[in-house]
Structure 1
Amino acid sequence: MFGTATTGTSHNIQAVSGLWRDVHGPAAAVASRGNARAALRSAMLKDRKIVLMDRLGWDLQSPDGLHEIDEYDGDDTLYLIVHQPQTGRHLGSVRLLPSTGAHLLGDKFAHLCADAVPAGPDVCEITRLVTSPGLSRSEALQVRRQLSIALFEHALAAGITRYTMVTHLPWLPSLLSIGWDAEPLGMPHGEGVNAVAALQIFVNEPTLQRLRGAWEIARPVLTLSPIGRENEQAF
């Protein structure tokens, strides 16, 4: 779910090619697990609360009124986060849940799949995909592109061949126009803006290279080095 996307597609948004950057330099993408990088994780959870709860009105949990956290945000949960490394600003992020364990599609949305919920060591679920509420539409698209490439880089390095996800239908055209090779897992359920559907996204090297070329992002964007844990207060 693209948290700050609007209905329609991304084709009418004039996004700048390449990496998002400001006066401090280009954005970076990191893989962060659990409570590692606590300050960045806190910024991510605050943006999730603003976007998903305050703006979109989703009935979610905020234990302190500042951060959006649910039962899937655990010590071993993996996040891919696009951020400004010099200032620590959160720009966009996604939560990844292994399909072999507890995940939203299997636990709460299995009815969206015409057949069995895709599961296996090579299948991972995309959840809580948001961009910062402080970005313009063109900046948000640029960050989503960088995050999309990070998703593919992570998948190819981790042996993931498919992602699954649940999305609200108003955001489906924007999601598909990002350039992923995706197909529905079943018929949508619900009505109007509340209708939801499940998708699977196929991961392969040719698609990654096509996205790199289209968006002029030639080099890897994701830091895949081992993730250390910080001694900061974590949420």
Structure 2
Amino acid sequence: MDQFDTDKAIYLLGIEAGKGVVGGSRLVPTLEPHLMSEVFPELANVRGLPRADDIFEWTRIFVIPAKRESGRFCKAAGMIYCSLLEFCLSHEVSQLSVVCEAYWIQRLMALGWNPVPLGAPIEKNGMTIVGITCDMTEEALAKTRATYEIDSSVMAPEKIPFTRLPEVSYDTYHASH
């Protein structure tokens, strides 16, 4: 857990019958404090920090070791990618912002996510880190499904309704909280 695991964070979990959680990811509204705004704002030094009610930050993708597939696309990861796209499309989230290692740009480009750098990369702990945005589109969902041989929705019906945050500026957020 970190400071961005709040009641505003959304968790998409891959659950396998009899095994429990096997993968997952987290989305944080960009109108709230998030990794790029609070820890890595320098990654958006060219295009600026994206903040809008239809832009969320994507962090924390994981797949348990038993589900990882060496030398080929990992179906469990593909299901998490599809869940991100499906959630965003069904909740009118147009883009995700991401703090990631630079190699993700090629991976996401191949899936049709249209990654766009927000600024210059930085070196951190021996890694090259970038800030990007990715478009959440039907075309990206179709290409991601095709890449991972997923032919239908991966999402279970929602049990808890999703409520969009009211649009406020970051300055207003800090002034009122």
Q: Show the counterpart of 1:122.
A: 54
Q: Show the counterpart of 1:92.
A: 23
Alignment size in residue pairs: 159
Q: Distance in 2 between matches of 1:132 and 1:140?
A: 14
1:188 to 102, 116, 121: 121
Q: Show the counterpart of 1:16.
A: none
Q: Show the counterpart of 1:105.
A: 36
SS at match of 2:23: strand
Paired residues of 2:113 and 2:137 also in contact (CA < 8 A): no
Counterpart amino acid of 2:83?
A
With over 3 angstroms needed to count, the CA separation of the structure-2 counterparts of 1:173 and 1:112, relative to structure 1, is same
Q: Distance in 1 between matches of 2:134 and 2:109?
A: 10
Tell which deviates more after alignment, 133-142 or 206-215: 133-142
1:167 to 88, 100, 103: 100
Counterpart amino acid of 1:125?
E
Offset at residue 210 of structure 1 (A): 2.6
Paired residues of 2:27 and 2:57 also in contact (CA < 8 A): yes
Counterpart amino acid of 1:131?
V
The answer to which structure, 1 or 2, has the higher relative contact order (CA under 8 A, 6+ apart) is: 1
Counterpart amino acid of 1:143?
A
Q: Deviations over 1:132-175 (max 9, x none)?
A: 13333348721111111111100011110000100123555445
Q: Deviations over 1:169-192 (max 9, x none)?
A: 355544544442211111101168
Offset at residue 83 of structure 1 (A): 1.8
Paired residues of 2:105 and 2:115 also in contact (CA < 8 A): no
SS at match of 1:186: coil
With over 3 angstroms needed to count, the CA separation of the structure-2 counterparts of 1:81 and 1:140, relative to structure 1, is farther
Paired residues of 1:184 and 1:197 also in contact (CA < 8 A): yes
Counterpart amino acid of 1:87?
G
Q: Distance in 2 between matches of 1:224 and 1:98?
A: 21
With over 3 angstroms needed to count, the CA separation of the structure-2 counterparts of 1:207 and 1:175, relative to structure 1, is closer
Q: Deviations over 1:13-68 (max 9, x none)?
A: xxxxxxxxxxxxxxxxxxxxxxxxxxxxxxxxxxxxxxxxxxxxxxxxxxxxxxxx
Matched, 1:134 2:66: yes
TM-score norm. by structure 2 comes to 0.79
Q: Distance in 1 between matches of 2:123 and 2:77?
A: 27
Q: Show the counterpart of 1:72.
A: 4
Paired residues of 2:67 and 2:76 also in contact (CA < 8 A): no
Q: Distance in 2 between matches of 1:153 and 1:175?
A: 16
Offset at residue 200 of structure 1 (A): 0.6
Q: Show the counterpart of 1:144.
A: 77
Structure 2 unaligned spans of 5+: 162-177
Q: Distance in 2 between matches of 1:217 and 1:189?
A: 35
Q: Distance in 2 between matches of 1:178 and 1:132?
A: 22
